[in-house]
Amino acid sequence: MFKDALAPELTFRQRLNYLIQPPGWSHDGSRDTSETLKAAYVRRNPGEAGKPGLPAAGAEPAE
């Protein structure tokens, strides 16, 4: 997290966002967020859908 926040080409706002945004956030959207990882897990394991912390089956992550 700190390594990402200290990259030389980032603005102050982008640096701050690396520290306060949810896991997986990136300034250019190139990384999977925790929501997209959870949705992919449920697609691979449909029996787990709707359990605490996991989306319902067929739910797409918010962008």
Q: Do residues 44 and 36 lie in contact, with contact meaning Cβ atoms separated by under 8 Å?
A: no
- Domain positions in the chain: 2-48
Question: If the chain, 63 residues long, is cut into consecutive pieces of 10 residues, what is the mean pLDDT of each piece?
Answer: 90 95 88 89 94 82 56
pLDDT given at position 61? 58
CA distance 38 to 49: 10
Place of tokens 């929501």: 35
pLDDT given at position 63? 53
Q: What are phi and psi of 45, to 5 degrees?
A: -130, 75
pLDDT given at position 59? 64
SS3 category, 45: coil
